[in-house]
Amino acid sequence: MDSWSLSNGKPIRQGCRPASGFNLLIAFCLIRGLMAAGASPHPPSERAKLGPAANLQDLARRAARESVWPSLRRYAVSTKDSEERGLAYFALGYREYGAGETSRASADLARAAATGFSLADFALYYRAEAAQEPALVVEALQGFSTRYPESTLRYDALALLAQAFLQTSQPERAIEVLTAEPKVQQRPGLVLLLAKAYGQAQRLPEAAKAFGDVYHAFPAAPEAAVAGAALKRLKAQLGAGFPAVTEEVQVHRAARLLSASRYREALEEFNALIDSYPSSPSGSAWRLARARCLIRMKRVQDAVDALSGSFAGNPQADAERLATLVEAYSRLDNSASMLIVLDQLRNVYPQSESYRSALFWAGALFADKGDWATAVRYYQPLAEAAPTTDLGREANWRVAWANYLQGDTEKAGLGFAEHLRHYPDSPHVPAALYWFGRLAEERGATSEARALYELLAKRFVDGYYPLQANRRLKSLNGDPAGRAGPAHAPTTPEAGGPPLAEALEKIPPREPPRAGLCAATPGEIPRPFLTLTALSLDDLAEQYLKTLLSNRPSGTEVLLALTNLQAEQGEYSDALFNAKRLVPNYFEYQSSELPREMWQWLYPRAFWSVVQRQARLNRLDPYLVMALIRQESAFNPKATSVANARGLMQVLPKTAAKGLSRRRRRGVGQRLYDPAYNIRLACRYFRQMLDAFNGNVEQALAAYNAGDFRVKDWLSQRSFRDPPEFVESIPFRETRLYVETVMRDEVVYRRLLSGSPRFMKCGQSAN
């Protein structure tokens, strides 16, 4: 049995049973189950280091029910240990606060803080949160940052204190405490409070400056809208006294909005800059940025119109203008206009980076059409002119792939070998090894092919191409001719060519797993976290760790503790993403190279029973459905995409409503957040995709991601000999990676859920 189990998709704590000897969980469980017998072998001073006694832990765990509060209060009154008394009153007060019993909560949290126990800063802060009177907030939090300079609640307490001063019409005191904190300017919420304090104190120019700091320095923050409204009012009040906003500050705001993908707001800002500073030497750059906003907003023709005039006197900007036009015409599928502009760019700015990026867009347009022969005309010069750039590397690969698709095996082989030699850390290395192996098979060099496949499977383990390589190896092992002779170092097919072995030696070895995945000890885990979890205050424990990670770099043990807690609470998506932070290249490791818990975090098992049932009803592979959920939503039932796809398997409301009566369509969008409903509809829809593409899983996955009409268009342009050839030819990078990832994860889920994988144990090194 795993160290945690599932029931209806929800985790059930099974006590503390770290099956793999995972030391972090041992420490975690040490606090959860400390002194389960009800007696402590440690004196009070030692218990403060280890955590609360078992009987207090039990009361705190059950204190979510109001009926337990009297028992917890009796414990707090009767215990002789000040640490235990403080913890008991704190657990009681926080539960009262959560239940809306604010006056009782404030009193009990004050009693907790008075003991000077280890979480006194938490008690004071939540006493202030529970207080009905601003005076009590001031009493609780005055001097908080001096008393608790390392508290994760420091800035929250400062905000609460400043608000209390504003509520009691003491703006100067709010200004005093806020300006005393050197990091206020890094936090938009605190700067906004400072601006409000200046406004209440009638220091209007200073208020305008502070509101402006929020509006211009943090344009993507929620506080920016409040600051913007305040600035409009102040501008009317101050008139000529309103502080001038410099061009530099406006540009900073526009650029921040653009980088945050807030294209509509960024467009407004760049338009305002163009209108306000018509003679600025930066005008060309703003016009370019405006056009890029329009392209991202899918107003591509508007972008073309905006770039119709040349940028005389600014060659670099004019080259970028032409390159942006090439991109726009490529997106409009207007190859004739695109090539006219590309010729102009080549004639006027042939050495510019802009010309190189335009070459890539031209190649991409023809590749999207399946016309790889024409695409090569643009990829080839780009690969030759910019070999050290990302675009040059990508173009180099696409040239090799185009030659393969066109049946020029000699050029393709040379291209694959060249890519391996020059770009040994390229994301296309697994594909290059695989397709070079396929070429070797076609030449009858089965030993060479086997060597390539074995290298690929061993080095990259669980990627899409290693999985394909394993399938080819099984095929070769079933061929008596393929078993003849030992595998030998591959060579390039051309006469006199350098051996491919030289290129293979350049492929960097796998990074070892991050140190410390199993090495955390109780002394390394922050004590407040252990204490909070021992009191079953998991929401506070989680927030504590998140703040700790955001405020300063922390060791692996903090992220491990957070990931484990999130998984326990059923926050599968957060746990998954944090596990990826811990092991970014997890797919390159065997099961035995990572602990069991890491695999459980990376590949959640939630909703498995629902998936099995719906997969069976729709004749689907349940492991494939789990892989789809992982890729679509990372097991977040409330996930919503920018396109309004919803739920675990990201179903569009309009897709879910197809075929339903008007009455039954009501509420469909909201129901998509229900896991069972979402999985049922999505499995039915994916079955339709599979049927539409004759059971071809890769094509059905591409249709699920990019739309069936696009896949039908790609298939109409050319025929593909097998699924991997189709996958590598998918023109949308996002869709290609999507298909590869789901196919990979299906195999991993099959191994984890139906196999008997061996996991790494703490104290045991990975092989």
Query: What pLDDT sits at residue 180?
Result: 95
Residue 313 in this model has a pLDDT that exceeds 90: no
Segment 291-298 shows an average pLDDT of 96
Query: Does residue 377 sit within a domain?
Result: no
Residue entry with tokens 């405020």: 551
Could you report the per-residue pLDDT of 238-275, keeping only the tens digit for each? 999 999 999 999 999 999 999 999 999 999 999 999 99
- 123 DSSP 8-state letter: H
CATH of the domain at 223: 1.25.40.10
Choice among 129, 327, 568, 632 that is catalytic: 632
Are 566 and 623 within one domain? no
Q: Pick from 178, 192, 262: which is nearest to 227 by CA?
A: 192
Query: Does residue 28 sit within a domain?
Result: no
Give me the count of residues in the chain: 767
Query: Does residue 317 sit within a domain?
Result: no
Query: What pLDDT sits at residue 77?
Result: 96
Q: Which residue has the higher pLDDT, 28 or 143?
A: 143
Q: What amino acid occupies position 133? A: E
> What HEC string does 295-358 produce?
HHCCCHHHHHHHCCCCCCCCHHHHHHHHHHHHHHHHHCCCHHHHHHHHHHHHHHCCCCHHHHHH
Query: Does residue 40 sit within a domain?
Result: no
Range(s) of the domain holding residue 726:
608-754
Are 207 and 161 within one domain? yes
Q: Which two tokens stand for residue 593?
A: 């190279």
Are 501 and 448 within one domain? yes
Residue 19 in this model has a pLDDT that exceeds 90: no
Are 572 and 541 within one domain? yes
Mean pLDDT of the chain: 89
Check: CB of residue 707 under 8 Å from CB of residue 740.
Answer: no
Could you report the per-residue pLDDT of 480-497, keeping only the tens digit for each? 444 444 445 555 544 334
Domain boundary among 210, 245, 280: 245
Are 424 and 548 within one domain? no
Largest CA distance in the chain: 91
Check: CB of residue 328 under 8 Å from CB of residue 300.
Answer: yes
Q: Which two tokens stand for residue 293?
A: 């906003």
Are 622 and 570 within one domain? no
Are 440 and 565 within one domain? no
Q: Which two tokens stand for residue 513?
A: 């797993």
Query: Does residue 303 sit within a domain?
Result: no
Are 628 and 653 within one domain? yes
* Structural domain count of the chain: 4
Domain boundary among 213, 245, 277: 245
Q: Tell me phi and psi for residue 476, to 5 degrees.
A: -65, -40
Q: Identify whether 66 is a catalytic site residue.
A: no
Query: Does residue 759 sit within a domain?
Result: no
Residues 170-179: contacts with CB within 8 Å, 24+ apart? 171/197, 171/198, 171/199, 171/200, 171/201, 172/197, 172/201, 174/200, 175/201
Check: CB of residue 56 under 8 Å from CB of residue 78.
Answer: no
Could you report the per-residue pLDDT of 675-711, keeping only the tens digit for each? 999 999 999 999 999 999 999 999 999 999 999 999 9
Percentage, residues of the chain above pLDDT 70? 88
15 pLDDT band, cuts 50/70/90, is very low
Q: How far apart are CA 480 and CA 470, in angstroms?
A: 17
Are 615 and 707 within one domain? yes
Are 440 and 568 within one domain? no
Q: Pick from 523, 560, 567: which is nearest to 545 by CA?
A: 560
Q: How far apart are CA 524 and CA 498, in angstroms?
A: 52
Could you report the per-residue pLDDT of 633-667, keeping only the tens digit for each? 999 999 999 889 999 999 999 888 887 666 667 77
Are 750 and 651 within one domain? yes
Are 586 and 637 within one domain? no
Query: Does residue 555 sit within a domain?
Result: yes
Query: What pLDDT sits at residue 389?
Result: 96
Segment 214-230 shows an average pLDDT of 97
Query: Does residue 686 sit within a domain?
Result: yes
Domain boundary among 509, 540, 556: 509
